Structures are given as structure tokens and as C-alpha cells.
Amino acid sequence: MSRKHRWTEIEWPAFGAGGPPPRPSVTEFESRIDTVHAAMDRLGLTHLAVYGDREHFANLAWLTGFDPRFEEAVLIVSRQGDPLLVVGNECEGYLPVSPLYTAGKLRSERFQSFSLLNQPRGDSRLLRDIFADEGIGRGAVVGCAGWKYFADAEHPDGAHAIDLPAYLVDTLRGLAGWEKVTNATALFMNPDTGLRTFCSAAEIAYFEYTNVLASEGMKRMLFGMREGMTDHELAKLAGYNGVPLGCHMTLATGDLPGLSGPVGATLRRGTPLSTNICYWGSNICRAGWIASSAQDLPRDAQDYVQNFAGPYFEVMGEWFDLLRIGTPGGALARLVSERLPFEEFGIFLNAGHLIHLDEWVSSPIYPGSDVPIHSGMVMQVDVIPSSRVYSSTRMEDGVAIADQDLRRRIQAQFPDCFARCRKRRDFMTDVLGIPLPEEILPLSNIPALVPPFFLNPHMVLALEP
């Protein structure tokens, strides 16, 4: 049975923060390439084409440490030899950001059609010739990794439905044959087997760093919120420091749609507000009301806590208790759909998903899913209720799922990060009453803190003992 929610007045804890952890070593990037080679062997691929652009960079960055700025890029991984990274004019000078490149373990070539329109085009080879020199021809079997793969229910031939630009895929198929070029995005992003769903200690340490940045920014926004200020003034309190964003900041108040960013709107008492701060590997979101108490809300919403935010908090306590290694994702989906029925809570998207350098990788949590929760997942606690009367509520933070071996590696390599995660666990269990399996490492500095009324942030929800 779910424990009932209660009100509690607290001083929000200070868990501390560390500087950015060191970037993954050349050895770790080499290990990732080796892991891809092994996956290619299992899939019978001779080549893997990994596409990247400004919005869809995560697979490429995970493999090389290089993320395209302005332009497109494609990495060609063959079974032997160093990979080839094909870039446009402006990205060529950015190549040293890759530890593999600076170590001489990543080749490069300029293909100027990747560059922006009307930039120089006369000093590079045709894409067909570049690919052919990598051994792509008749007899090659090429996997393409973009940012989506497709089930048979989505496409009559999902294996050959590829989300890379057509001119790239057409060139590959012209060389290898139509049927020999397939979608291999699942190699990286499938929630059960995808390589980026098994995060290393170094990845988790970086994601803890960005969760701290985002959550401390959210805390400043919540405690600095004042009636009559503009949303632009509120957004400034986030204190952006230049770390790459995972998605555009949302800040919706009043009647603005949920994905709206700051537009100059004035914050008014008795209206809802939702906002997020998202960096690579983190997305901290809170939703509630610009209010000091229920009396500030519209009359039909004054039972917001007892009939909406409170029941949500209770079910999220159960959700955390289920978030164990081996639990099928379908069990978490069923919990939320049964205990927070759509007719009342309007939860449409997945009850949690995986996050990485990209804000949404994939999700093991969907109806009927037998995909088990596994060690190395970094999970976004992203369960989004919605109501025309009550608006929303949220405790959207990041958590890592780490078995004993992974926890030991994090503790050995990043002891301060691990200590902060342990303090957050103690706070969630001892103060908020949320049961946590031993494999859960909370990454946010405002873990599961839900103040329903943003003008009174010291009053938060917790569970009865």
C-alpha cells in the first residue's frame, strides 16, 4: 500500500558541489570504439556510419568526444583501422576537442558540402569517393546510426527506414546496394541493449555535475520568485555558466503552452508555472503554482494538494521503490497508469525515460515492456501529470542505477560525487520518507523536493512514516 503524503516545513539541504570532472580518457574512448567493433561483428556489419549535427550529436560525441557545431558530420567505423571523421569547413578547426584525434587515433577528412550554404565548396572530394576509399562497395554491409530506429508497427520495413539525410543514404546504397544499408541506431540507443544505456563511472560523474548545476539553478529560481517579476527576470536566476544545453529552457506561466520559453510575461499570484533547466545529462523541472497557500488558487483548484499533487507524490514513492535492477519497465508503467488514471492525471508520455548527452535517449518504461532496469542506466524522473483544473506538479530530476560493482568504481574514481549521492539518499529516505533501493544514486541537489506553492518553498511534500 502507498504511504500517504504529508506537509513538512524544512530548510532545503545543501549537498555541496564539485568542479567539472575530467573528461573521459583516450583509453575510455578507445574502449568505446572496441565495444562498437564487437557489436558490428554481432550484427554482421562491415561498416558503421554515425551521423551527427547540432541537434543530433550524442552518438558521435560519445564515440569521439567531438560534437558538431553549425554543421553536419559523419563518422565511418570500419572493422580494422582508425575511424574516419568527415567534417565541414568550420568543424575542421574544432577537431582537437576529440581526445582520439589529438592522440592520433582518429582520422579526418573535409567534405565541404557539410558546410553552410555558399561557403567554399571547391576543395574536397565527392562523398562517394570518400566512402569508397573506406572500403564501402559491393560486399559491404553498412549500418547507419542516426537518432531514431523504427519498429515494424511504425514502418513496413523498419530495418531499412533510415533517418540520416537522403543524400548520405543514397550514396551508401549506390555503393553497397539498397538492401545492404540498414538502420543501426538501436546499437547505441535501445533501452535494453544500447551501448549508451550502460554508463561508466566517468559518465555518471559528469551527469552528476550537470544535475548539480541545473538543480542549484532551479533552487535559486524557486527561492527568488516574486509576484510581479517577469519570466525573463526569473530565468536569469538560473545562472547559466556556458555548459552545453540539452534542450531550450522552458518557462510557462499563466496560459502559455508548456513548452514555451520566457516571453516577457509577468508572474501573477494564483496562476500555474512550470520551468526546466537542461544541460547535457540533466533536466531539472518543477511545476506548481505562484502562490503562498491554497487560498491563492482559483476556487476549483484549492484542493490541489490533497487531490492532485499529494497523490502524485505518493505514487512516485512507489515508483522509486520499484526502480530496481531486474524490474521490467512495464511494471513501472502499470503502476502509474493504474494509480494515476489518465482521466484525472492526464499522463500521456512514458513514466520515466533514459537521459544521456541527449535529453531523451529512449525508455524501458512503456505498457507491456519486458525491458529490465539494468545497472548503468541514468533515468530521468520524468512523470508528467496534466490537468485543466490543477495544471501540473513535478519532481523531475536525474538518478543513476548502479549495481555494487559500479558503485565501487564511482566511489574509487569520484569519491566526492559518491559522497554527495549518499547524502541525497539519506535525505530522501530519512526526511522525505521515500524508499530507495540500494542501487539508486540521486544526482540532483533538490532530490524529490516538491513545493506545491512556489512563493512558500519551505513547505514541501513528504510521505508519512
All CATH 3.90.230.10 domain ranges of the chain, comma separated, are 5-20+200-463
CA-to-CA separations, 238 to 207, 220, 232, 279, 286, in angstroms, rounded: 18, 6, 11, 12, 13
| Closest residue by Cα to residue 445 from 415, 430, 425 | 425
Q: How far apart are alpha carbons 68 and 75 in whole angstroms?
A: 11
Give, in words, the CATH class of 26-190.
alpha beta
If you write DSSP's letter for every residue of 344-381 in order, what string do you get? Answer: HH---S-SSEE-SSSS----S-STT--PBP-TT-EEE-
Q: How far apart are CA 332 and CA 323, in angstroms?
A: 8
Domain 5-20+200-463: give its CATH superfamily: Creatinase/methionine aminopeptidase superfamily (3.90.230.10)
pLDDT at 414: 97
Rounded to 5°, angle at Cα 351 from 345 and 355: 140
Residue 63 pLDDT greater than 70, yes or no: yes
Choose among 317, 307, 374, 369: nearest CA to 341: 307
Distance (Å, rounded) from C-alpha 149 to C-alpha 160? 10
What pLDDT is recorded for position 126? Answer: 97
CA 289 to CA 415: how far, in whole Å? 38
Distance in angstroms (rounded) separating the CA atoms of residues 171 and 161:
15
pLDDT, residue 1, reads 59
Q: Rounded to whole angstroms, how far apart are CA atoms 359 and 388?
A: 27
356: part of which helix (H) or strand (E)?
A: none
Share of the chain above pLDDT 90, in %: 96
Q: What is the pLDDT of residues 345-376, one digit of tens each?
A: 999 999 999 999 999 999 999 999 999 999 99
Per-residue model confidence as pLDDT tens digits over 95-115: 999 999 999 999 999 999 999
Q: Tell me which DSSP letter residue 230 carries.
A: B
Q: Where in the chain is the domain with CATH 3.40.350.10?
A: 26-190
Please report which confidence band the pLDDT of residue 405 belongs to, taking 50, 70 and 90 as the band edges: very high
